[in-house]
């Protein structure tokens, strides 16, 4: 995952407080700073769970360390949230239209923010 103005984010092993436990994994900035929860150890059970855990941790690290919403909906300039689309793919959702009683919309599947030029509209 990357931010246009910054170096790519990275996965970082963080030593556990308990010597008997394995290291934790966090999403960190390129300089090694991270914030928030470690990746859910149970997320390794499925690709979808792992992707959701990484996306959530990346969003938390960026928001807390840079004090900015991320990712932003290019149409509304608002922070987006994780959710599933109609095909149950993990996606970034924007609630921007709800302010005008319109439908929320999916901007992009997680991992494909740069691949889409236009938002995909869905009813919710």
Name the token pair of 43. Answer: 């997320």
Name the one residue in this structure whose structure tokens are 């436990």.
21
pLDDT of residue 101: 65
pLDDT of residue 24: 87
3 state SS of 33: coil
Tens-of-pLDDT digits for all 124 residues of the chain? 446 677 888 999 988 888 887 788 999 999 999 988 888 888 888 888 888 899 999 999 999 998 988 888 888 888 888 988 778 888 888 887 666 666 677 777 787 776 544 333 333 3
Task: Give the residue among 88, 80, 87 at the shortest CA–CA distance from 104.
Answer: 80
Name the token pair of 14. Answer: 């963080």
3 state SS of 117: coil
Alpha helices, H only, 11-97: 47-66
């Amino acid at each position: 995952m990357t931010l246009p103005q910054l170096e790519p984010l990275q996965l970082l092993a963080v030593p556990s407080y308990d010597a008997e436990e394995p290291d934790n994994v966090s999403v960190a900035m390129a300089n090694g700073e991270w914030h928030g929860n470690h990746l859910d150890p149970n997320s390794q059970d499925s690709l979808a769970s792992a992707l959701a855990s990484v996306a959530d941790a990346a969003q938390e690290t960026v928001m807390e360390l840079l004090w900015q919403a991320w990712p932003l909906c290019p149409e509304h300039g608002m922070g987006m949230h994780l959710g599933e689309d109609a095909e149950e793919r993990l996606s970034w959702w924007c609630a921007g239209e709800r302010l005008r009683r319109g439908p929320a919309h999916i901007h992009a599947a997680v991992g494909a923010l740069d691949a889409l030029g236009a938002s995909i509209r869905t009813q919710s």
